[in-house]
Amino acid sequence: MGQILAVDYGKARCGIAATDDFQIIASGLPTVETKNIFNFFRKYLSENTVEALVVGLPTDLKGNLNDVEADILKFLEKFKTEFPAVKIHRFDERFTSKMASFFISQSGKSKKKREEKGLIDKVSATIILQNFLEQK
């Protein structure tokens, strides 16, 4: 068994989360600039056993895909080429950014820290992964 990674993909930054090797707990990893995402994955996958990647499916309230989906599809094509052994799953990420903001606000962090976009991306990825694990 290996880890499952989750990506909250964005045009500027990607929030990333990983499970433990037993796929029980999801933890946020450092947020990565989107332009450096493949350097991150090359290093991470050379040091860890990763079984699957969960990527958020960005939909609006009506279920329509938003404009970042085209970038995500390009990212997934490249990911499949570079890491063919890693299974890819898509997961509805509706409300994860709002949930992340709420959880951060409840954590007692300062207003400046709560508004840090990278923190929201990291917590969003963790929520996507935790929800995916619960459905599995």
pLDDT in tens, 96-122: 666 656 665 665 655 555 456 667 788
pLDDT of residue 114: 41
Q: What are phi and psi of 87, to 5 degrees?
A: -70, 145
Q: Which helix (H) or strand (E) holds 37?
A: helix 37-47
pLDDT of residue 92: 75
* More confident site: 87 or 64: 87
Domains of the chain: 3-135 (3.30.420.140)
Separation of alpha carbons 136 and 131, rounded Å: 9
pLDDT of residue 60: 66
Q: What are phi and psi of 63, to 5 degrees?
A: 90, 5
Separation of alpha carbons 4 and 59, rounded Å: 22
Rounded to two decimals, the pTM is 0.81
| Chain segment 22-42, per-residue pLDDT in tens | 999 999 999 999 999 999 999
